[in-house]
Structure 1
Amino acid sequence: MNRYGYSIFCDDIRNEAGGKLSFIGCYNGVIFISGQFPLVLPKLCVHIHILSPASQPFNSIAVRCYLPGEEKPFFEEPIETPERHDQTELVANLKTDTGAPLFIVAATSLIFAPLELRSSGLMRVRAAIDADQELRLGSLRIEHAA
């Protein structure tokens, strides 16, 4: 089993009662922008999930976001992970009889308000895991509305 992850791109993320999250205005792979570049979005949110097999605890995770046409990330932030032995102990204490594989999950919500866009193209989200693996977490195509 390999590590994998995904991103949800949306207009807003709200914390609800009972620890629930609501994603408002989710994008299905593309956002159509009216107006001329460069332009500023009042807010764009990205919720990220990274899953690792229980046998591969995380040492470190850094999330990186890239804007269209940019080689360097406009955002880079570590995600705090429990110590490796704490992750292993947590998984060992899980009681499951389903036979389904167990995963360690890291998640975070990113809120960019405002967000300046200089051109159309792909907004990419990546994670550097344990300093030696880059994991692709998704992208959002930014298009000029016709």
Structure 2
Amino acid sequence: MTEHFRYAREYMKQPGARYVHCLYCDDIRQEIGGKVTFVGTCSHVPVSSGTDRLSVPKLCIATTFGTPKSDPVKSLQIKIGFNGRGIHALERIDVAETPKDAPDGLLYGTMITLAPFSTREEGTLNAIAVTDREKITGNPLKIVFSKPQRTASPQNKNL
């Protein structure tokens, strides 16, 4: 089971809780008719094959913050962290008064682009929602480097 689904399953055990969900991908495209396309999604672990760094021209993070209608936020800011260090912060998201006809839950979404994204260290990338009373960390993207695989050279025993 991937980290993403493990995170989602743990969250679902806490009905009525605030949460942050992230989708990591290579590109996000706004389509005609209001559709959104996510290109090259990373399900759990991107691997930089055989090198000691990860370097991509663009890394997009679609972030959704959810809260119950009964527990609206007064302020909301999304920050991106890598190994516990802040690497990007968005301006505060406009949080309007909760409409009376709102559904049971309120969702706030944003799309963040890190261009380029490069690192020489393995670690965890995640989004943190900073509200008027708490910080909530979203599902992480773990970055690991694979070791180059050595192939044994064939030996000719007939020589």
Please state which band the TM-score falls in when normalised by the shorter chain: 0.7 to 0.9
What is aligned with 1:34? 49
Summarize the alignment of residues 1-146 of structure 1 with structure 2, pairs less than 5 Å apart: 1-34=16-49, 36-68=51-83, 71-83=84-96, 86-87=97-98, 90=99, 92-94=100-102, 102-130=104-132, 132-146=133-147
Secondary structure of 2:46's match?
strand
Deviations 1:111-139 (A, max 9, x none): 11111213111112211111x21111111
SS of the residue aligned with 1:18?
A: helix
Q: CA deviation at 1:82?
A: 3.1
Structure 1 residue ranges (4+ consecutive) displaced by more than 6 angstroms after TM superposition: none
- Secondary structure (helix, strand or coil) at the match of 1:78 reads coil
How far off is 1:80 after superposition? Answer: 1.8
The whole-number CA distance in structure 2 between the counterparts of 1:82 and 1:61 is: 7
CA RMSD of aligned residues (A): 1.7
The structure with the largest strand share of the pair is 1
Larger radius of gyration: 2
Contact 1:67 1:117 in 2 (8 A): no
State how far apart, in whole Å, the 2-side matches of 1:112 and 1:67 are: 12
- Percent identity between the aligned chains? 27
For the 8 Å contact 2:122–2:144, the answer to whether it is kept is: yes
Shift of residue 35 of structure 1?
5.5
Query: Given residue 106 of structure 1, which amino acid in structure 2 is its aligned partner?
Result: Y
Instruction: In structure 2, list runs of 5 or more residues that go unmatched.
Output: 1-15, 148-159
Contact 2:53 2:145 (C-alpha < 8 Å) held by counterparts: no
The letter for the 2-side match of 1:12 is D
Give the distance between the partners of 2:93 and 2:87, measured in 1 at CA: 20
How many residue pairs were aligned?
Answer: 132
Q: Per chain length, whose mean CA-contact separation is higher, i.e. which structure has more relative contact order (CA < 8 Å, sep 6+)?
A: 1
The answer (yes or no) to whether the contact 2:20–2:128 under 8 Å persists in 1 is no
